[in-house]
Amino acid sequence: MSNKEFIKKQVEKFTTPLTPEQFTELSETENSLIILEIPLKDYTLTEIARIVESNNAHVMALSVMSISGGSLLLVSLKLDVDDLTTVLRSFERFNYSVLYYFMREGEVTDTQKERLAELMYYLEM
């Protein structure tokens, strides 16, 4: 994609209203997603970026959508890390309301649950 095509695509995205479905849509290039609910008066992008970057993560995409008549914002952050645990704990520590999160790694899978159950069974013998 050339620079001109990229700029045109970004302008088209900017000029068309964002639907809730587009807001929460995941792309294949990002590894994780966090959606925060923040009162408009408390929204500071520099603070959010500082929290993310202090946990060795980078914001790859950011979308903001106002709700409740503009008094609240939903902030969608797509990050480049596989495990969000430290980032989520930092947001909790700074009293941010995390509505949703998704991470490609770091979650316990069914196979891991089965292996843990087998280990616990073995240890109880």
Residue 10 lies in a domain: no
Write down the pTM of the prediction: 0.64
Predicted confidence band of residue 6 (pLDDT cuts 50, 70, 90): low
The domain in which residue 94 lies consists of: 19-124
Tens-digit pLDDT profile for residues 22-81 = 655 544 445 788 889 999 999 999 999 999 999 999 998 888 888 888 888 888 888 888
Tally of structural domains, the chain: 1
CATH of the domain at 90: 3.30.70.260
- Chain centroid to Cα 57, Å, comes to 11
Residue 45 lies in a domain: yes
What percentage of the chain reaches a pLDDT higher than 70? 68
C-alpha dist (Å) from residue 24 to 35, 46, 56, 113, 120 = 8, 22, 23, 28, 38
